[in-house]
Structure 1
């Protein structure tokens, strides 16, 4: 007879993922064990195996959930009726807000992706690519002449925007909403002025 799923299954799974992200970020994926993960989650080792059969499965679920939700959140920013400049500002703000509270997941993304299978990495890179393309299309819209036929310049500009945003995540992890909004406006201003002078 099949085992029934507990009513709080989803909540416990989320708790495992959040705790495991912190452990992987602090200890490194290679040094973390299922025993340590279970201990940090406050559950038995047998119980953690009820949710995941390996730490590789946990790592994949952390990154798949994080990157899919990040992509979906950013790529559905309401931009109807906005100028290209306003679209860029709204998107940059949303990225910084989406990063808030996800420091461990972000660190695991940077350090742990290569521990996954090629097929898993391909799927996750697809999420990243969708996000980058969304921002890139807005950057191009801001100044079409600056990037006319020069995809390398467009990519470099787009990745520079992400570089500024990721710098903020690295050095201002505890920043609140107003600080993030202020920095988003700064990145938008730097990007807009720079792109318009290319």
Structure 2
């Protein structure tokens, strides 16, 4: 009988994934070595290889786990909210929350997916497409007239772009938190500028 996983195995593995994602996001997948990952994790290479056989396995894990979490967000929002408007608000709030805590993982998914083998890339991008399609279905439910005009997906991609770009200009220690802006994004997307409500914490962006 093989040895079971020790207590804390999953926590250690999550730490490795998070620190590897930070390295990949900063230096790129090709420019990062397993030596660097081991050092960032405070582990020996032998211990690191106990969790991941090579750098490629880390890349697959980072990208696939991130997009799988996005799938979970979609499933929960659609199950918890009965109306398309409620679903969209929940989807945007949860998307902002996820991206706030997984910017490195998202960068790896978008920039390093090209280094995946064809089968792995297709599987992971297939999951990503399912997430986009789910958002687009909610957009179509909100505006059925847009479905025939093939506008649901373009609007969904504009929404994703709005959320993604938020993390390039927002200051983590600024007067507004991501939680403050999630409803702003929702109001702007659903109702236009006239629908935006000022957050409780008000500030100007430099």
| TM-score, reference length from structure 1 | 0.87
**Which residue is equivalent to 1:112?**
112
Structure 1 unaligned segments of length 5 or more: list them: none
Residue 19 of structure 1 corresponds to 19
CA deviations on 1:118-173 (whole Å, 9 max, x unpaired) are 1111111122112111111111111112x14222x221111101110111123226
**Residue 156 (structure 1) aligned with residue 154 (structure 2):** yes
SS at match of 1:81: coil
2:82 aligns with 81
Which residue pairs with 1:191 in the alignment? 189
Which residue of structure 2 aligns with residue 167 of structure 1? 165
Q: What is the TM-score with the length of structure 2 in the denominator? A: 0.84
Once the 2 structures are TM-superposed, how far is the Cα of residue 103 of structure 1 from its aligned partner?
A: 1.4
Where structure 2 has 5 or more consecutive residues not aligned to the other structure, the ranges are 193-206
Asked if 1 retains the 8 angstrom alpha-carbon contact of 2:63 and 2:105, the reply is yes
Alpha-carbon deviation of 1:116? 0.7
Cα RMSD for the two superposed structures? 2.0
* CA-to-aligned-CA distance 1:1-21 (integer Å, 9 cap, x gap): 744432222121111111111
Alpha-carbon distance, 1:100 to partner: 2.0
